[in-house]
Amino acid sequence: MSWLFIALSWASPGPADALLAQSAAARRIAREIIEAFGRESVERAEPRIARLVEEYGEEAVRALRRAGPAGVEALEKFGATGVRIVGRWGEPGVRLLAVEGEAAGVWMGRLGDPAVEFMIRHPGAGRDLLERFGERALFPRLTTESVVTLNRLAGPIERSGRTAEILGVVERFGDRACDFLWRHKGPLFAGALLASFLADPRPYLDGVKELVVAPAAGIAAEAARRTNWTAIGCVAVVAALAGVWLALLGKRRPAAASGELA
């Protein structure tokens, strides 16, 4: 049994034959824990704390010191994952586990501490963005509002076929890029303007250059210019000849039927 467990046991003594010799260091640690938690809290949670310390050792004590009594349930429920998250982030880690549950441990296993920090900074929205874009979503400079915006734009971003480039612009320009993408989401994702923006986003973000949407007449003219009229003409001629042939065939069938009856 570690000296830390001895200290915790000393805080709520049992039968004399179960007590272990207490060193000055163990008593000092016990007093620190009692002062941090409050004697009543320690005595009430002592059996649970003892089990956690027996299983996870000093890491459990470090986590409980950081989070207080609220950390006990998190450690019991999430085990080694809870010990690591609460030990590293304290009360914010406890809140993360309460909100995200097992997902916090899953993303910590996949992407490490940066994923946990991202979810702590952006409760709920951070996990959603990780599920859409994985490691590419770990933007260190975004506000939670921008993370929510990217979640709303996730569909258009993915359908554009240029996800990596768009997220690259977000990584470079942060909240400004998210705000611009949201304000211009209609024309930006519906036409050829996205390529121009991605090629050189700074003038657009600085307001030096504006997105110009071609008027309807211009769009129609451009569509007409790009149309292969030769191919369309050939298809029309073939369709007309087929119609004539079917009409002639229809006339011959009644005549043939009349001959058979005669």
- Please compute, for residue 204, the number of CA atoms within 13 A of its CA located in the half-sphere on the CB side: 23
CA distance 64 to 84: 11
Total residue length of the chain: 262
- Please compute, for residue 118, the number of CA atoms within 13 A of its CA located in the half-sphere on the CB side: 29
pLDDT value at residue 67? 87
pLDDT value at residue 60? 86
CA distance 56 to 76: 11
Q: Please state the domain extents for the chain.
A: 140-211
pLDDT value at residue 113? 94
C-alpha separations of 115 from 38, 146, 248 in Å: 33, 17, 74
Give which of 28, 8, 29 is closest to 19, Cα–Cα. 8
Give which of 103, 105, 51, 43 is closest to 73, Cα–Cα. 51
C-alpha separations of 222 from 42, 188, 208, 213, 226 in Å: 77, 18, 27, 13, 6
Give which of 136, 133, 107, 132 is closest to 119, Cα–Cα. 107
Q: Is 13 helix (H, G, I), strand (E, B) or coil?
A: coil
CA dihedral angle for residue 30, residue 36, residue 37, residue 39, rounded to 10 degrees:
60
Is 67 in contact with 74 (CB distance < 8 Å)?
A: yes
Query: What single letter denotes the amino acid at residue 15?
Result: P
Residues 6+ apart with CB under 8 A from 18: none
pLDDT value at residue 83? 94
**Consecutive 10-residue runs of the chain (262 residues): their mean pLDDT?**
44 42 45 60 68 85 85 92 94 94 93 95 94 92 95 94 94 95 90 88 87 50 54 58 59 50 42
CA distance 35 to 243: 96
